[in-house]
Amino acid sequence: MSTDPFTTLNGAVGSPPEHYGNPLGEQKLLASGDAVVDLSDRGVLTVTGDDRLSWLDSVTSQSIAHLGVGESAETLLLDQTGRLEYAIRLVDDGVATWLLLDAAEAPGLAAWLDRMRFMLRVEVADRTSEFATIGTLGQPAVLAAEPNGVPLVWHDPWVSVVAGGHQYASGAAHPSAGWTYSEILVPRADLDAAAALPVAGTLALEALRIAAWRPRFVTEVDERTIPHELDWLRSAVHLSKGCYRGQETVAKVHNLGHPPRRLVMLHLDGSEGVLPSHGDAVLAGDVEVGRVTSVGLHYELGPVALAVIKRSTDPAVGLTVRAGEVLIAAAQEIIVPTDAGAEADIPRLPRLGAVRR
């Protein structure tokens, strides 16, 4: 791959750049829809062939068999027990289905899909070396690649509950309403033109994502995660589609049980000038109840984080985060409530031997 032009811009820190010297100013610019974020370290796969959509539909959680040309979707690949293995962002251009992932996930998913082709008319290819990802909350897709005549722009469905999905978060307003996020695929040869636009760093994008309660695979997911814990049924799971691996767990937890953990947003005390890191312990009193998954400094909310904690943790209790030797007070904002799940209206049967009066 050629040198990333974003890293040569004035003030760029990191690769891709975390910021360009003014993280909060960049965040405001990004939130207003006037900037782009370099995500050129992300992975890009394609699936081509006549059976591509029906095949992907059969092995993942979302109903995508009839995804229209230019339409976007999100789907999850689960293991047999319903735990997350991959989170996949999809856009179809009528010839190929484009799969957008975090870079570390692309080789493993490509290999798994290749093994699962059997006699179907599909081909899997890794296109990461050819196409780069650019994030935005509003910039027009003028630079989007169009290898088959359709602009390759993925619009995040998190903005509302998709058909067949379900939201556990309660309340009249959901912060995703302002999350007009999209990802644009750009030929790597054209990245210079993308870098000429107003830019923001990845820190800006992370803070806005946290404020929108938007889970991300590389941060929120561990080896035990099921979709319900992150409220991911709202955008990436269709509860009425046909059988797929892990569906039994999805249905059982949603209809009869409760997820063992739940996602919260933490409003952090910033008086110490310390931010926690991914994996730092979340405490209720002296008892560890979960872990921080993402951290950001929001231009309006201040220091915030996402954390996955035990479902039974009292929603009203004050929490603390252990960041090295520093304890940071944290107020939890409920995303997934303690009573999430058990949605099926199943009448209770009388106990054996009970006397009916």
Q: How far apart are CA 307 and CA 190, in angstroms?
A: 37
Query: In the predicted model, what is the mean pLDDT of residues 42-66?
Result: 97
Residues in the chain: 357
Q: Is the pLDDT of residue 1 over 90?
A: no
DSSP three-state, residue 103:
helix
Whole-prediction pTM: 0.94
Q: What pLDDT shows up at residue 23?
A: 96
Instruction: Enumerate the domain spans of the chain.
Output: 5-230, 260-334
Q: How far apart are CA 41 and CA 223, in angstroms?
A: 23
Q: How do 131-136 and 123-126 pair as beta strands?
A: unpaired
Does residue 230 contact residue 49 with C-beta atoms inside 8 Å?
no
Q: How far apart are CA 62 and CA 163, in angstroms?
A: 10
Q: Which of 183, 192, 81 is nearest to 134 (CA)?
A: 183
pLDDT digits (tens, 9 = 90+) for 156-175: 999 999 999 999 999 778 99
Q: How far apart are CA 183 and CA 132, in angstroms?
A: 10
Q: How far apart are CA 107 and CA 70, in angstroms?
A: 25
Q: What are phi and psi of 220, to 5 degrees?
A: -85, -20
Q: What pLDDT shows up at residue 351?
A: 57
Q: What pLDDT shows up at residue 353?
A: 54
Q: How confident is the model at residue 344 (pLDDT cuts 50, 70, 90)?
A: confident
Q: What pLDDT shows up at residue 352?
A: 52
Task: Please give the CATH number for the structural domain made up of 260-334.
Answer: 2.40.30.110
Superfamily per CATH, domain 5-230: Probable tRNA modification gtpase trme; domain 1 (3.30.1360.120)
pLDDT digits (tens, 9 = 90+) for 123-142: 999 999 999 999 999 988 88
**Angle at Cα 258 formed by Cα 256 and Cα 262, nearest 5°?**
155
Cα of 96 vs its chain's centroid, Å:
23
**Cis amide bond preceding 16, omega within 30:** yes
Does residue 73 contact residue 62 with C-beta atoms inside 8 Å?
yes
Q: At a CB cut-off of 8 Å and minimum separation 6, what does 101 contact?
A: 42, 43, 44, 45, 86, 87, 88, 89, 109, 217
Q: Is the pLDDT of residue 357 over 50?
A: no
Q: What pLDDT shows up at residue 346?
A: 54
Q: What pLDDT shows up at residue 134?
A: 97
